Amino acid sequence: MDLQTAIQETQCALNLVLNDKFSEALDLLKPWWKDSMYHALGYSSILVMQATMTFEHKDIQTAMATIKEALNTCQRFRKKNSMVGSLSSLISKQSNLQEGECGVLYRRVSGAGPNQDVLLFVVEMHAEICYAECLLQKATLTFVQDENMISFIKGGIKIRTSYQIYKDCQNVLNVTRNLSSQADSFRQFEGGVQLGIGSFNLMLSLLPQRILRLLEFIGFSGNRAFGLSQLREGAASQSLRSILSVLTLLFYHTYVSLILGTGEGNLAEAEALLEPYQRKYPKGSIILFYSARIAALRGNFETARARYEECISSQQEWKQIHHLCYWELMWTHSYQQEWQQAYRYADLLCRESRWSKAIYVFQKAAILSMMSEEEAKKTGEDISDLFRQVEGLKQRLAGKSIPTEKFAVRKSRRYKSSSPIPLVVPALEMMYVWNGFTILGKRSDFTESLLVTIESAEEKLRSDTNPTEFHTDDSCLVQMLKGLCLKHLGRLLQAELCFTQVLSSEGRIKYDHYLVPFTLYELGLLYKQQGDFAKAATFIEKAKTNYKDYSMESRLHFRIHAALSSLKGTPAGTP
């Protein structure tokens, strides 16, 4: 099968995926996946996506076997000494490149005979891109397949190799751009380079400076502006990978910038990117999901809920997409303190999803804790028993606990004794962990309502005549959450008082030491909102340098990096 036909068939398969016809896409790609690099890439991509969503051992094994075969298929089309060794040769012989029929690049090969053009260079270019993409997929599977550090290192090596291939391909692109910019095969190659280089630069730019400096030493680079520009160019192109660049940008604006940043995702750009695909795939579950997510981030919870429900009903083949919707529906109901509905989705996740049983069970118990005793009893659940289950459900990645699971385990240990001391507003604490107050803050009505709940917990702690050893920690948590509500309601002086009350209690906190650096960070953001950038930087830097070995430290360092970047005039979450 020739290259152009292979790309066209893979595009058809991608269209089927976006229309929720996953099995049909696999059936289209399967006959050629051991003979065509693009069929191999497309076939393995669908199976890898399925494996990472199900976390089922058999799916991971099947995907790993497929990706190994896909790499072998791509390898057969690569130049024997790879692009790295051939780049200097390419530069010296670039005049041999010309455009042939159907807009395909050819290279005249000496000794091939007069007027004999052979398809060679373009196939090698595309083989490099496909190989790099397959390597990234294999690295992803390596991380989730095993729990040991060796697997982590192996995955890291694959990522570095993939990145180096992308850099070599970018050099080739720069050399050949003027000669071949009109060829369709060149545009397809360019789209692959833009997706790879853009994604690497964007994601690496999120890393805290100390980590990024180390990675730059071994050859990586993390330029956020360049990464965004590459992905935008890729999204605007008419290539096979245009939609992949779009989905990468959507993921960045709607998830990464919120969870690992300050919550300043560019929703206007996200909507503009999504709009043409909403017209093309109006019932596609992936498109519906992002449409719902954008609505939620704008505070339109009712619209978001309707779209998530439409996403669930749009297809039944991949239940894992339902699980993504359950997670989001659980939170949209939580923002509105509709705890019974939130419990329903947390319970569905506990029953059906394998991603993180520890988080799901903790979340379910936390939601039940927000209900009245009578409401909780109606569910037939034992809250203390649920919290006690959490520790036995945690997973490990590269030999280490997942930070959010580790946090949930530590918090749930309060229920180990026969007379447990209940957590205070645990569902709201987890809401903060996922930066949910930034979303909630878009709606003053629900923020006011949540503030009433927090002040009720505050009053209960204040009037406690027999305070426990957790009293100071609980009081500080309540003050930090209260400060966040007040900040989003524009009552900045009152918010500042709440935050400073937490800081003044630092010496008396026994367990939740994370509260102090996180509060310093929030106070810094408050001063930024007031326009005092110098004071903001001082408090955020203090959170960065003066504290270590606390819960979710790495997550805070990501957010600190984003905040300090925004103070320097280059907001990490916005273009």
DSSP string, 536-563: HHHHHHHHHHS--S-TTHHHHHHHHHHH
Contact 476, 457 (CB under 8 A): no
Sequence-separated (6 or more) residues with CB below 8 Å from residue 341: 329, 333
Could you tell me the two tokens for 520?
């310093």
> Which pLDDT score, from 0 to 100, does residue 326 have?
97
Sequence-separated (6 or more) residues with CB below 8 Å from residue 4: 102, 104, 184, 185
Burial of 95 (0-12, 13-18, 19+ CB in 10 A): exposed
Contact 377, 352 (CB under 8 A): no
Contact 186, 176 (CB under 8 A): yes
- Longest alpha-carbon distance in the chain: 98
Q: Which helix (H) or strand (E) holds 489?
A: none
Phi/psi at 401 (5° precision): -70, 150
**Distance between CA atoms of residues 377 and 555, nearest Å:** 35
> Which pLDDT score, from 0 to 100, does residue 574 have?
35
Q: Partners of 397 in the beta sheet?
A: 400
> Which pLDDT score, from 0 to 100, does residue 179 have?
55
DSSP state of 568: T
**Distance between CA atoms of residues 279 and 416, nearest Å:** 53
59: left (phi over 0), alpha (psi -120 to 50) or beta: alpha
pLDDT tens across 197-237, in order? 999 998 888 888 777 777 777 777 788 999 999 999 999 99
Q: How far, in whole angstroms, is CA 513 from its chain's centroid?
A: 27
**Distance between CA atoms of residues 208 and 211, nearest Å:** 6
Q: How many CB atoms lie within 10 A of CB 247?
A: 21
Q: Please state the length of the chain.
A: 575
Supply the pTM of this predicted model. Answer: 0.90
Could you tell me the two tokens for 74?
């791509």
**Distance between CA atoms of residues 486 and 446, nearest Å:** 12
Contact 267, 249 (CB under 8 A): no
Identity of the amino acid at 409:
V
Q: Partners of 396 in the beta sheet?
A: 401
Burial of 407 (0-12, 13-18, 19+ CB in 10 A): buried
Could you tell me the two tokens for 117?
């053009």
Contact 412, 268 (CB under 8 A): no
SS3 142: helix
Q: Which of 57, 54, 32, 56 is nearest to 42 (CA)?
A: 32
Identity of the amino acid at 22:
F
The sign of the CA dihedral 313, 315, 318, 324 is negative
> Which pLDDT score, from 0 to 100, does residue 401 have?
74
Q: Which helix (H) or strand (E) holds 380?
A: none
**Distance between CA atoms of residues 494 and 354, nearest Å:** 42
Contact 314, 294 (CB under 8 A): no
Contact 431, 440 (CB under 8 A): yes
With a cut of 50, which residues of the chain have pLDDT below it?
A: 83-85, 87-88, 90-95, 97-119, 147, 570-575
> Could you identify the residue written with the tokens 């996506």?
49
Q: In 181-300, which residue ranges form alpha helices assigned H by DSSP?
A: 184-205, 209-217, 224-236, 242-251, 257-259, 267-280, 285-297
The sign of the CA dihedral 267, 269, 271, 277 is negative
Q: How many CB atoms lie within 10 A of CB 570?
A: 13
Contact 156, 144 (CB under 8 A): no
> Which pLDDT score, from 0 to 100, does residue 100 have?
42
**Distance between CA atoms of residues 497 and 547, nearest Å:** 22
> Which pLDDT score, from 0 to 100, does residue 144 have?
64
Q: Which of 542, 561, 484 is nearest to 262 (CA)?
A: 561
The sign of the CA dihedral 489, 491, 497, 500 is positive
Q: How many CB atoms lie within 10 A of CB 375?
A: 13
N-to-C CA span, the chain: 41
**Distance between CA atoms of residues 101 and 351, nearest Å:** 56
**Distance between CA atoms of residues 373 and 378, nearest Å:** 9
307: left (phi over 0), alpha (psi -120 to 50) or beta: alpha
**Distance between CA atoms of residues 448 and 374, nearest Å:** 25
Contact 174, 81 (CB under 8 A): no
CA 133, 134, 140, 145: dihedral to nearest 10 degrees?
Answer: 180
Q: Which of 204, 290, 190 is nearest to 250 (CA)?
A: 290
**Distance between CA atoms of residues 170 and 506, nearest Å:** 51
